[in-house]
Amino acid sequence: MTPSGLGPKPPTIADVARVAGVSRTTVSHALNGLGKVDPRTRERIKQVAAELGYRPNLRAQRLRRGQAKAIALASSMPFAVAGGTSRLGFYMEIAAAAAETALLHDYALVLVPPVRSGSGLHSVDIDGAIVVEPDVGDPAVALLRERGLPYVALGRPVSAAEEAPYVDLRGGLVAEMLLDHLREQGARRPALLIGSGERHSSVDARAAYERMAARYGWTPVVASAP
């Protein structure tokens, strides 16, 4: 035991280098897949590291590579919507799946509070982000672009100038399924209540509703709320 009572010190890269009979630079290159290290030497170093129980300093690695090894899950929707009872389950399902996949690739997931200003993205050290249902002129997207960070949109961007990769949530198809269900239950004048703004879910739902209304001769009844 050490005098501090915290147990033995963990092995360092210097310990691995000493046991393997190589330099610390060679150990670093071998464990990080860098440089020209003889394959047999690389395997011996990995074996020694495993036997000693060596774990690389992730913080030091990130500093050397200029990577945060973290991505953010962000949204500019008001917290009352994104964190409300109607959306929280959806948001947490996204977070759970994203966090699991990120960890499989040695990344961490950072949950950014869904604030309209997107200011929460100023202070987090990230390499990119997933943006949930970006609006036209979305502040979270604007801030990511300002920082030169890549992002993926969850939900089809509705801005014609938006060229980011996205996962289509098929909002129009969902709206049609819901309206078909109402029609099968006997509804003859279904109404549509959507959020104000231009997020894909509202835009696609309105378009689907108008198509269905024209198809079945409904008088459109549409209301929007913030």
Could you say which of 152, 167, 182 is where a domain stops?
A: 167
Could you say which of 122, 152, 167 is where a domain stops?
A: 167
The predicted model scores a pTM of 0.64
Report yes or no on 51 lying in a domain: yes
Using CA atoms, how far apart are residues 91 and 122, in angstroms rounded to an integer?
Answer: 21
Do 85 and 140 share a domain, yes or no? Answer: yes
Q: Rounded to the nearest 5°, which phi and psi values hold at 130?
A: -105, 125
Do 160 and 80 share a domain, yes or no? Answer: yes
**Could you tell me which residue, 213 or 37, shows the higher pLDDT?**
213
Report yes or no on 1 lying in a domain: no
Do 158 and 177 share a domain, yes or no? Answer: no
* Full residue range of the structural domain in which residue 18 is found: 13-56
Do 91 and 104 share a domain, yes or no? Answer: yes
Which two structure tokens, joined as six digits, stand for 17? 């280098």
Instruction: For residue 134, give the CATH number of its domain.
Output: 3.40.50.2300
> For residue range 99-151, what is the model confidence (pLDDT) as tens digits?
898 888 888 888 887 656 555 677 788 889 999 888 888 888 888 888 888 99
Please state the domain count of the chain: 3
% pLDDT > 90, the chain? 18
Could you say which of 167, 191, 214 is where a domain stops?
A: 167
Report yes or no on 155 lying in a domain: yes
For 14, 151, 198, the CA distances from 135, given in Å and listed in that order, are 51, 14, 6
> For residue range 167-215, what is the model confidence (pLDDT) as tens digits?
988 889 999 999 999 999 998 899 999 888 788 888 899 999 999 999 9
Q: Rounded to the nearest 5°, which phi and psi values hold at 91?
A: -65, -40
Using CA atoms, how far apart are residues 214 and 179, in angstroms rounded to an integer?
Answer: 13
pLDDT of residue 52: 86
Using CA atoms, how far apart are residues 26 and 11, in angstroms rounded to an integer?
Answer: 16
Report yes or no on 64 lying in a domain: no
Q: Closest by alpha carbon to 205, among 221, 194, 214?
A: 194
Using CA atoms, how far apart are residues 166 and 112, in angstroms rounded to an integer?
Answer: 19
Which two structure tokens, joined as six digits, stand for 224? 């929007």
Do 77 and 111 share a domain, yes or no? Answer: yes
DSSP 121: G
Q: Which helix (H) or strand (E) holds 224?
A: strand 222-225
pLDDT band at 37 (very low <50, low <70, confident <90, very high): confident
CB-CB contact of 103 with 139 (8 Å): no
